[in-house]
Amino acid sequence: MTICCNLCNSHTMHRVADTDSKTGAALGVFLCCNCGLIQQAPLPDEESLEKYYSTLYRIDYKGTRQPKAKHVFRSANQAVARLAFLKRNGLLSGTLLDIGAGSGEFVAMARKKGYAATGIEPNEGYSEYARSEYSAEVVTGKIQEATGQYDVITMFHVLEHLRSPAEAFANLHRLLVPGGSLFIEVPWILSGAISPSNRYFKAHLFYFDAETLASCASSHFEMTDVETSGNLLMLFRAKETPCPMELPPAGYAEKARKKIDAQGWLNYVIHGKGWRKPFARLRHIMDEQRVSGLSGSQILESMQK
């Protein structure tokens, strides 16, 4: 099998994982020694991906077809942080499309903050929940079916699931007004704070750092803000005219490779503050118990006070 980097077409790839962190099933994940992009190989074909996402994905990962109170609570907490990120960047209003809107907490809360917010979500159960629980304008549909033009597009934990990040950015550019803003959040592969047992997944086709994400976007977008924690948050502005893609700087791939190779349990527990995780988990469980039995709308209301 010849493995080819999706970003720079190099064949010099370094294996970084051979199993799915969750299921233990065989999985090939490689770092490109030329540009530093990390990707699954071989990539699954479009048809099998589509089948997986339309029905199985939510069940696999969350054990449910519609969100439970604890899922709503987590999404609402994330929505608060994401809206704060937009606010810090001076993005306070306008038309907004959330791609991969899930059960609609972000769309519902963004609307309350003053955005004309809508969403698109392929999962039937979740998009139906967004409409019935929050009266949120979330249509059921594949992300390729998004239409219209928006001031702001948000896409949280979607890009890592797509077969061609560069193609996704070209499509996103078409959905934005000139100079429009794109807010992307993906897992941050170089984070020390992710447990080694929670890093590589069959559902994740690409694994990004700021350099590789900026590069995938570079034909159509310039990066205007970046934040890292366990996740990578990046804000982009649409370029007026597409230009040739820029690869990460020379030496980046080697640096990324060293960081990846150093990511073990010891590094996670000490430098990634993994020793704190059981305490944080306990706090989450207590918070989640507090909201169990509340409806999604009640949870959102309690957080917006």
Residues within the interface to Zn ion (CB under 5 A) = 5, 7-8, 10, 32, 34-35, 37
Backbone angles phi, psi at 272, to 5 degrees: -85, 5
Quick one: angle between helices 69-88 and 277-291, nearest 10? 110
The residue (of 7 and 107) whose beta carbon lies closer to Zn ion is 7
* C-alpha separations of 159 from 28, 59, 155, 187 in Å: 19, 20, 7, 10
Least separation in angstroms between CB 236 and Zn ion: 20
Distance between CA 221 and CA 176 in Å, rounded?
Answer: 11
Cα four-point dihedral sign 177, 181, 185, 191 = positive
Least separation in angstroms between CB 39 and Zn ion: 9
Least separation in angstroms between CB 185 and Zn ion: 23
Q: How many CA atoms lie within 13 A of 302 on its CB side?
A: 15
Q: DSSP alpha helices (H): ranges in the chain?
A: 46-51, 57-62, 69-88, 105-113, 124-134, 165-174, 210-217, 252-261, 265-270, 277-291, 296-303
The residue (of 5 and 175) whose beta carbon lies closer to Zn ion is 5
Q: How many residues does the chain have?
A: 305
At CA 210, angle to CA 203 and CA 92, rounded to 5?
95
**Greatest C-alpha distance within the chain:** 56
Distance between CA 125 and CA 65 in Å, rounded?
Answer: 6
Least separation in angstroms between CB 49 and Zn ion: 22
The residue (of 34 and 140) whose beta carbon lies closer to Zn ion is 34
Least separation in angstroms between CB 40 and Zn ion: 14
The residue (of 8 and 139) whose beta carbon lies closer to Zn ion is 8
Q: Do the strands 150-156 and 94-99 form a parallel or antiparallel pair, or are they unpaired?
A: parallel
Distance between CA 165 and CA 122 in Å, rounded?
Answer: 18
The residue (of 109 and 247) whose beta carbon lies closer to Zn ion is 247
Least separation in angstroms between CB 215 and Zn ion: 9
The residue (of 10 and 77) whose beta carbon lies closer to Zn ion is 10
> For residue 190, what is the enclosing H or E element?
none
The residue (of 57 and 252) whose beta carbon lies closer to Zn ion is 252
The residue (of 98 and 160) whose beta carbon lies closer to Zn ion is 160
Least separation in angstroms between CB 204 and Zn ion: 17
Least separation in angstroms between CB 224 and Zn ion: 24
